[in-house]
Structure formats: C-alpha cells, structure tokens
Amino acid sequence: MAKKTEKEIKNIWTYDPAPESSDHIQLKDKYDLYIDGKWVKPESGKYYDTSNPASTKKIASIAYGNDKDVDKAVRAARKAYKNVWSKMEPSERAKYIFRIARIMQERARELAVIECMDSGKVIREARDVDVPLACNHFFYYAGWADKLEYAFPNQKVESIGVAGQIIPWNFPLLMAAWKIAPALAAGNTVVLKPAETTPLTALKLAEIIHEAGLPAGVVNVVTGFGDTGAAIVNHHDIDKIAFTGSTGVGKLIQRAVAGTNKRVTLELGGKSANIILDDAPLDQAVEGIVNGIFFNQGHVCCAGSRLFVQENVADRVIQMLKARMETLVVGDPLDKNTDIGAINSKEQLATINKYIEIGKKEGADMYQSHINLPKSGYYCAPTLFTNMSQSSVIVKEEIFGPVLTIQTFRTIDEVIQKANNTEYGLAAGVWTSNGARIFNLTTKLKAGVVWANTYNRFDPVSPFGGYKESGFGREGGLHGLKSYVKLS
Amino acid sequence: MERLSVLKTYKLYIGGAFPRTESGRYYELKNGKGENIANVCLASRKDFRNAVVAARKASGGWSERSHFNRSQILYRIAEMMETRRAQFIEELISQGISKSKAEVEVDLSVDRLVYYAGWCDKYTQVLSSVNPVSSPHFNFSTVEPMGVISVISDVKNGLLDLVSVVAPIIAGGNTVVVLAAEQYPLSAITFAEVLNSSDVPGGVVNILTGKRSELLKHMASHMDVNAIAYSGTSGEERKLIEIESVENLKRSCYIDENWNDKGAQGLKFIEMFQEVKTTWHPIENIGGATSSY
C-alpha cells in the first residue's frame, strides 16, 4: 500500500467536536469602570462593544473611559496609596495578594473560557498557560511583599506611588497579572487600562479583587481606547508607567513623558530568531518551531518569527515542518482539539494579510496548510515563507500573526550576525545537541530571553523583557520587582 | 638663558589614537588671569560619529574579555594614574582648581578606579539568579553590557566626574564615547594618555572635547548608541536628551551625584548599564529516579 501523505491522512481521520462548555459563564450585558472600589459609569456616558472574534458576535457593552474618568481613578489610587496601601504592614499586603491568587484559582475555568471568547485564543492554551500563569504570578509576588529588603540588600527600598499600566490584547489576563502583582507587592497602587478588544478578563479580575476585599482605590480599571491610555500617560499625578504593546506606541509614550520624572518600563515588539543547527534533535526542533510561531496565533511579542535553519538540514526541516503544519487544527477556540484559534480582531487580520501580500510581492515562496477556515470569524491559515533576504519587509517587521519566515545559514558566526541584525532584541531560540554550541550562541545573541532546545516558555520567577527597541525593564522574578521600587 | 618649555598639544582620543578634530576647529582655554593656556579641539558631530564607530568595533572584544582581565586592566589604569599624580594636580590647578581640591580629586579618582577594578569579576554574581521555574527547565538570569554608551560628563570637577562615570561603565564591559566638561578639557585628555598606556584596548574609551550645546543632541540621537549617561544638565537639556533618545529606545540615565563624596560609588552605577538576559534549557527526566539516597 502506498504511503499516505499527511494531507490524505487528515482527510480520513478527523476529530469530533470537543467543545468546552460555556453555559456556566456569567457575564453582564454592560460593564462600567472600576474606580475606588465601585463600579461607576463613564463620564461621557459612552459604551462600546466587545465581540467574539471567532463569531464576530457582540459579547458585552464596555465603558469608554476618558480623561475625567482617568483623573478620578488616579485620585482614588493616590488616596489609597497615601492613606492605606503604603502604610499597611507588608505582611498584610502579602495576604491580600495571596487571596487574589486563590480566588483566581477557584474561578480559573471561568476566566479561561471568557478569555477565549473575548480574545479568540484556544481553550487549551488559556486553560493550561494563560490562567495558571496569571494566578501563579500573583502567588509568587505576594510572598515578596514582606521580603523586599532581601531582594535589594544594602539599599533602602520604597514604593513609588501610583502606577499607570497599559496592557495588550494578546494575553489579556496574564498581562494584567504581570503588571498588577509586582506593583501591589512593592506597595504601589494601580490604574490599569486593558486593551479595547479584550477588556473582559481584566474586569473579571476587578471583580475578584473586590471579592478579595482589597481596600478601595488600590486597583482601578479604566476601559477604553488609545486616548484613554494617553490620558493615563499624561496624567500629572502618575509616578510610573508600565506599558506592553507595540514599539510604535512605546516610543510615543517615551516622548510624552520626556522631561517629567515619571518612571517607565516598556515591553514592546520583537522579531525573534529561532535557530536550528544541523545537530539538533529535529523532531523536537520542529515542535519548537511550531510552538514558537503558531502559539497564540502568533500574537506573541517574543514569537520565533525569523527561523534560521542550517543549510545542510534545511530541506528536511522545511519538509517536516510543512507536514506538521498540515496536522494543525484551526477553528473554534473553545474546542479542546483546536491548535490555532481566531485572530484577535478584524484590524489585526487585515495587518497580517497585508504582510502576506507584501511577502508574495517581494518574491518569497509561500506555503499555507491546506485547511478550510471557518466561514465566520477572523482566521488565518498557518503560513511560512522561504526564499527571501534579510532586507525583506516580512523578515524585518513584526507581523504578530501565524506567519513564519525561513532563512538558511552555513556557519554559526553567520547566523549570529543575521540573528542580531534587527532593531529588536526580545527573545531567541537555539536548537542543538551540543552544549558548548548552545552557550556560544546564547551568550552572543542580543536578546533578553534565550530558549535553548525549547521555546515560548514562561514562569512567574523568570524575568522577561528585551534589549534594544524591544523595550526596557524586566517583568517576572526578582528582577521584575525592581521596576516597582525606589532604591536609595 | 632659561630653557624654553615644550608645550603639549591637546587632541581628541578616538579608537586608541590621538587625532585632531576633523573640523580643524578649536576653542581657547583661559586660566584665572584670562591668559590662553591651550587651544583645545572643538570636536564636531563627525568626530562623534567616528568615535561611535571605534567604540562599536571595540565593544565585542571588550565585553567578551574575561572579567578577571578587565579587573586587572582597571587596576592598571589606577596604577598609571597614581604615577602621574603630580601632573594631574598641576594640570587641575592650571585650569583654576585650588591645590587642596585638586589633590583630593586625583586621590579619589585613583581610589575609585581601584574600587571598580575590584567589581569587574563580582558584579555578575551579585546581579544574577537561578530561577526555580515550575517546569523541568534550568533557568538563569545574568547581566550583559548594554554596548556603546554616550557619556556627557558632569561639570563640577575636571577629572573626578569623568572617572566616576566611565569606570563603572567599562568595568561592566561597555565601551564609551565621552564628552569632557567644556571648562576642564585638559585633565580629560591626560586621562586618555593614562588609558592609552594601561592595556585598555583602543576604542573602549573615546574622549572628545568640545561644546555641550553643539554635541548633546547628536550624542542622544545616534542610532548606534545603546545608552546615554548625562550629568550637570538643566531641565531643558534633560528633556531634549530624553526626546532625542527615543528613536532607538536608547536607555537614558540621568546621574546626579556629588562625586566628591567618598561614598558616591557602588554597584548601582554598574547595573545601570547592564541588560538582564534569561536563559532556559530543558532538564531531562526519564524514569523518575530521584536524588534521595
């Protein structure tokens, strides 16, 4: 019998639907702003719709906060900082944060399902990655609250004040946790602005924070658009800005705060190199490539979007990769078999498609897995490009979607140069079974996170953040605390 | 007949050589009596760009040198400076600083170099961590130099301000382009002579003399500079530097210290110019044997 191709096998064997139940999810029709421990209507009276990118259907109305709402939130945060949070025994502060982590764990499945509905990410990832990491982040930083003097020996450690935090749509709840947990542990109060397309889990987190009994004003959530974020950045009584998002907006923020004494940490874009050497365990490497670029639909700032394969194994790796791509299931985010869910928004899908067109126009060869994309909703087939140069637009610019560019190299020196030849410096991957080669590469790659024989791993104890135009400051671990303390 | 002394021509220090400014321009440095004591190079933007090229070229080698070796080289700078103690003091006096102040400044500069020489092979240990992640991975964070740093020297002291900022930056494996204080250029160039005879590779420290007002913007905006350290600036200058630094997200570090204070030194001045890198690797665990026995 002739050997069947992956494509043929896929047509014979299909998965039955395995949807995660969403019956238990309780969402309100309309969400207000969470300011000073209360749900308050936006000053403008305006609301906007948040929708499910897998169906394009509306989920809820969300308050559109403006500068007056931000001012109210900052005042509440300042009051809570001065009167309560900075004065509280650090061990008591810790207990509040532990409580948040515990309630999140209790409500983990609910959070995971809502995350999928609002963002388009798949339930397997939301359930096993986003939500547990978010809970654990609170749990980890809670314990630091009364141990700060151990983190910064020989230095006087103080909190900063009111932190304005602006987060992206790719890991909505996890980014909220990355921002809020260390800020609270160090004794600061917070005004958080979730991304406009994914506000729901941050609002659920506000409910949890309320349930945990945190003093009013310690955490405030103001939903809205870019102008809402700008109001936070420009507010005179904000002491610290923490932003995760695009490099373009990061630069706008830096310009806006120039000449003020606001502290800033930025976690921005990337175009990370994932490097496969000829002695790598290729089966594992192919899984690593897939995880590197197709995890979370490629909406990952540290995505391994520039693949470099050593020339003598390139044909084999690309063939294996194409075969593996054929087996990826693209579809309903809430189905437990789905590997790749919906693209977060119509706008983002347009951006990805624009880059795919540019790649084709530049003369690169494109390969997409042969799948029928769902009829409604925003979807993009896993895509790879070969035969392009370092100067190609799709090699240089962050696409933020399931689009991989593949280049080859002969020597290690060559690949180090090529990998570092970018304005970004967020992450890198190296695949080889030779330990000495690993450290040669990992020490020379200019990136804040380097994965050797693995990719896209995250942990609350592990500092994350970039070199060069990928931003500055670290989040996570001991080093992540530093962004939220004043040392002298 | 009295012997005619030989005067020194003060030039720039770029890539381990002492070129004149490509612009051919100079400014007159006057002493307290209003007499001209030197025609000092008025460095141009092009000189700055050349210096960045030299600093970038030196960056790879310097950052990858063994930390122990860097430690010895910094110590060597201190040795060389000590032997020229009298010269530095005399030169500072010629630039209008009192004898007692000049002595303190030179002594502190030497001691500060010795202090940072000692840090070279220790700071990574103090700033690094092994992170106990929940998955089967070995994960550690360590620090690496940022790369090429612009330094705009403070204007309070002729020698000490410059040494106090440059020493921790190069101890941490970075290379620098320094703009010396406009009114104290002589000790900066004499310091370059010390560096030049201390096994510091050419290009690791580059020193320019010239006008702050002219070079500030370019030192902040250059796309191949990773960070800028600046001192002695007004509010307006700070804002300008911060705005000009944005385009390549240059780390901008305002340093406001009284370097005459003996305690104005420490790990934080090294850490300021380091990036944290976190590395992951899987740990194989097949069979489930534990380490208990």
Best residue of B279, B284, B285 to probe chain A, by most A CBs closer than 10 Å: B279
A153 and A174 share one domain: yes
> Given an 8 Å threshold on Cβ–Cβ distance, is B243 in contact with A255?
yes
CA-CA distances (angstroms) from residue B187 to A349, B163, B243?
Answer: 60, 11, 31
Lateral strand order in the sheet of A427-431: A365-368, A383-386, A403-409, A306-310, A273-276, A427-431, A449-452, B274-282, B137-145, B129-130
Q: Which of A254, A453, A467 has its CB closest to that of B246?
A: A254
CA B54 to CA B143: how far, in whole Å?
Answer: 23
Q: What is the per-residue pLDDT across B128-145, written as a single tens digit (0 to 9) for each?
A: 999 999 999 999 999 999
Q: What CATH code is carried by the domain that includes residue A433?
A: 3.40.309.10
**Closest by alpha carbon to A472, among A268, A179, A300?**
A268
CA A437 to CA A455: how far, in whole Å?
Answer: 17
Best residue of B141, B221, B269 to probe chain A, by most A CBs closer than 10 Å: B141
The two tokens of residue A318 are: 């690309």
Q: ipTM for the complex?
A: 0.96
Whether residue A431 lies inside any domain: the answer is: yes
A152 and A249 share one domain: yes
Whether residue A88 lies inside any domain: the answer is: yes
Whether residue B287 lies inside any domain: the answer is: no
Q: What is the per-residue pLDDT across B213-267, written as a single tens digit (0 to 9) for each?
A: 999 999 999 999 999 999 987 888 999 999 999 999 999 999 999 999 999 999 9
Best residue of A233, A241, A253, A254 to probe chain B, by most B CBs closer than 10 Å: A254
A87 and A220 share one domain: yes
A304 and A264 share one domain: no
| pLDDT value for B254 | 94
A257 and A277 share one domain: no
User: CA triplet A468, A469, A471: central angle to 5 degrees?
Assistant: 90
**Closest by alpha carbon to A407, among A399, A396, A447, A398?**
A396
Whether residue B240 lies inside any domain: the answer is: yes
If pLDDT is split at 50, 70 and 90, which confidence band does A6 have?
A: low
Whether residue B9 lies inside any domain: the answer is: no
Q: What is the per-residue pLDDT across A183-228, written as a single tens digit (0 to 9) for each?
A: 999 999 999 999 999 999 999 999 999 999 999 999 999 999 999 9
Mean of the pLDDT values across residues A235-251?
Answer: 97
- Residue A301 falls in the annotated catalytic set: yes
- pLDDT of residue B48 exceeding 80, the answer is yes
Q: Is B280 part of the contact surface with chain A (CB cutoff 8 Å)?
A: yes
> Given an 8 Å threshold on Cβ–Cβ distance, is B243 in contact with A461?
no
**Closest by alpha carbon to A184, among A90, A79, A70, A71?**
A90
A237 and A334 share one domain: no
> Given an 8 Å threshold on Cβ–Cβ distance, is A259 in contact with B249?
no
A420 and A472 share one domain: no
A307 and A201 share one domain: no
CA B276 to CA A426: how far, in whole Å?
Answer: 11
Q: What CATH code is carried by the domain that includes residue B169?
A: 3.40.605.10
> Given an 8 Å threshold on Cβ–Cβ distance, is B280 in contact with A457?
yes
A322 and A370 share one domain: yes
If pLDDT is split at 50, 70 and 90, which confidence band does A318 have?
A: very high
Question: What is the residue range of A135's domain?
Answer: 30-268+468-487
Question: Whole-prediction pTM value?
Answer: 0.96
A315 and A340 share one domain: yes
**Closest by alpha carbon to B283, among B141, B132, B142, B135?**
B135
A375 and A247 share one domain: no
- B141 CB neighbours in chain A (<8 A) are 462-463, 477-479
Residue labelled with tokens 């624009």 = A354
CA A92 to CA B98: how far, in whole Å?
Answer: 56
Question: What is the residue range of B126's domain?
Answer: 26-279
CB-based contact A309:A422 (threshold 8 Å)? no
Whether residue A326 lies inside any domain: the answer is: yes
CA A14 to CA B146: how far, in whole Å?
Answer: 51
DSSP string, A239-288: -EEEEES-HHHHHHHHHHHTTS--EEEEE-----EEEE-TTS-HHHHHHH
Amino acid (one-letter) located at B226: N
CA A230 to CA A66: how far, in whole Å?
Answer: 9
- Per the structure, the count of domains in chain B is 1
CB-based contact A220:A191 (threshold 8 Å)? yes
Chain A residue with the nearest C-alpha to that of B132 = A461
- Per the structure, the count of domains in chain A is 2
- pLDDT of residue A366 exceeding 90, the answer is yes
Catalytic-labelled residue, pool A116, A135, A301, A302:
A301
Mean of the pLDDT values across residues A337-343?
Answer: 97
Mean of the pLDDT values across residues A113-122?
Answer: 98
Whether residue B17 lies inside any domain: the answer is: no
**Alpha helices by DSSP H, A13-130:** 67-80, 90-106, 108-119, 123-125
Count of CB atoms within 10 A of residue A388's CB?
A: 18
Whether residue B128 lies inside any domain: the answer is: yes
Residues of chain A whose C-beta is under 8 A from some C-beta in B?
136, 155, 247, 250-251, 254-255, 257-259, 266, 268, 423, 438, 442-443, 447-454, 457, 459, 461-465, 467-469, 471-472, 474, 477-479, 487
If pLDDT is split at 50, 70 and 90, which confidence band does B287 have?
A: confident
| pLDDT value for A264 | 97
Whether residue A241 lies inside any domain: the answer is: yes
- Residue A380 falls in the annotated catalytic set: no
